[in-house]
Amino acid sequence: MSLSIRWRLTLWIAVALILTLTAIFLSLRFALGRILTDDLDEELSQDLGQLSAHIAIGGSLDEDALASMIETAGFLTVIRDTDGNVLAASPGLDPGPLDLNGDERRDIVEGSETVARTVEVGDEDVRVRSARLLLGRDVAGIVQVGESAEAIGQVMGALTVIFITEGVGVAVLALMAGYWLSRSALKPVEGITILAAEIEASDLTRRIAAAGKPTEVQRLADTFDAMLARLDAAFRQQRDFVMDVSHELRTPLTALRGNLDVLLMDERLDGETRTQLDRMSAEVGRLIRLTSNLLYMAHADAGRELDRRPVELDALCLEVLRHSKDLRPDATLRLGHQAQVAVLGDRDLLKQVILNLVDNGLKYSAPGGQVTLSLYQDETDVRVVVEDSGPGIPHDQLGRIFERYHRGPDSHVRAPGGAGIGLAISRWIARAHGGDILVRSETGRGSAFTVVLPLEPVRADDIRPEERRDSLA
């Protein structure tokens, strides 16, 4: 599972705080336990001194005298001989848990040190201190005194409860504080992410410009800005290159087609030569279309303005028919319904859209196929419809065919040489005119592409004379 930096920071802060608190608690508990035990041991030491002194004054280990002495003592007491046998013990006290093993007895008898330890008597913790008992100069036995250590346990228990309840509260607070801290620390980074996501390939001129932000964030933003600047330069270079090359290619190709068309005017041409020249002219036309697509794609990226003038669409359709009819000698291209209508638009671009759609219709049709170019008008829109009887487009491809460089899975076989940009450019042109392209298709039955353009009032005398001539050609 991958956690966001914000949550990681939050957890780290919380874990660090909890570990620190636990360490503080453990050392506090240890120190307090020590202090309280030392206090108790000190008390036991005094009890032991007093009792030993009383017995020494008595001068004997007479069991009755010892018993009455122990009875009045306010603490647990056991008196043993040097072999560990119990001579007297506090009433009701089971001396068993206070028994000493041989080594302990020897240490006590031979040394002058007292030995303290905690034992369990019944279900109570008792701190016991043992020391040798001197009568005169002789070691006569062992004295043990004890007091309950329950109070120490209770203090420790209370401390633990306080720590756990406070600890849970502190952990929750630490989580909240950690979340808030990491959130405010990462906020500028989030801002950069949002801005970076908004910047598109077509608009690399935007910059993050994070002046005044924390140093690390500013460094990140500056690096990002520098990368954007490099990308922008590279994109511009590529666009200018495509623009120059396609422009340079289009001029000689147009001249070539012009020459071929002049040759075709010769009445004396025999049938075979005419057919060959027709085909050459059509292929050159396809090359012109491809280079024009590249040129318009670069124009689209550069944000080119449309050269809007009144365009007679029926004349444009006739022109497209004339240029495209020889693209596929084994398929038929015909005009369907033709409304007489003009729109305000960029003539070259609109012609390119219709050429692209007709070219696709012919390209993807099987031999004997038919492509129909129609023009309709209603009150608000003009529709240029290109229908074909081709293979159709699979449903899952319909959403992608307008993407740049996208070609259908079998397009490389059906129509080698395409670049996958015709429909993308066509849609850009249609949208730049305030319209769109719609597609209907059924696999195995054919496709219909409709260019919808808004109808704007065009006066007949707006139309340039050369366009009228064109439509008659």
Is 391 a binding residue for ligand ADP by CB under 6 A? The answer is: yes
E strands, 81-222, in order? 86-89, 115-121, 124-135, 138-148
DSSP strand pairing (370-377 vs 332-338): parallel
Contacting residue, 388, 427, 451, 453, with ligand ADP by CB under 6 A: 388
Q: How near is the Cβ of 371 to ligand ADP at its closest, in Å? A: 8
CA distance 289 to 160: 84
401 makes contact with ligand ADP (CB under 6 A)? yes
CB nearer ligand ADP, residue 127 or residue 427: 427
Our CB check for ligand ADP shows the closer of 146 and 361 to be 361
413 Cβ contact list (under 8 Å, min separation 6): none
Q: Give the residue ranges of DSSP H helices in 265-341.
A: 271-301, 313-324
State how far the Cα of 304 lies from the Cα of 300, in Å rounded to an integer: 6
Number of residues that bind ligand ADP (CB under 6 A): 21
Instruction: Tell me the window of 132-140, 235-243, 342-350, 401-409 that interacts with ligand ADP (CB under 6 A).
Output: 401-409
- Our CB check for ligand ADP shows the closer of 192 and 415 to be 415
What three-state secondary structure class fits 340? coil
What part of residues 416-445 is at the interface with ligand ADP (CB under 6 A)?
Answer: 418-424
Choose among 284, 358, 346, 290: nearest CA to 320: 358
The pairing of strands 342-345 and 370-377 is: unpaired
Among 299, 407, 427, 433, binds ligand ADP (CB under 6 A): 407
Q: Which is nearer to ligand ADP, 169 or 417 (CB)?
A: 417
Nearest distance in Å: CB 398, ligand ADP: 9
Q: Which of residues 351-370 bind ligand ADP (CB under 6 A)?
A: 360-361, 364
390 binds ligand ADP (CB under 6 A): yes
Half-sphere exposure of 280 (CA within 13 A, CB side): 17
Q: Which two tokens stand for residue 344?
A: 């305000």
User: Which lies closer to ligand ADP via its Cβ, residue 221 or residue 298?
Assistant: 298
Report the site for ligand ADP in 100-129 (rule: CB under 6 A). none
Residues 377/412, Cβ–Cβ less than 8 Å: no
Cα torsion 185, 187, 189, 195 to 10°: value is -170
Phi then psi dihedrals of residue 148, to 5 deg? -60, 135
Query: Rounded to the nearest whole angstrom, what is the least distance from the CB of residue 227 to ligand ADP in the complex?
Result: 31
Query: Restricting to residues 126-155, which ones interact with ligand ADP according to CB under 6 A?
Result: none
Measured from the CB of residue 345, what is the shortest distance to ligand ADP in angstroms? 21
Contacting residue, 389, 411, 430, 450, with ligand ADP by CB under 6 A: 411
- Partners of 338 in the beta sheet? 375
Contacts with ligand ADP by CB under 6 A lie at 360-361, 364, 388, 390-391, 393, 401, 406-408, 411, 415, 418-424, 447
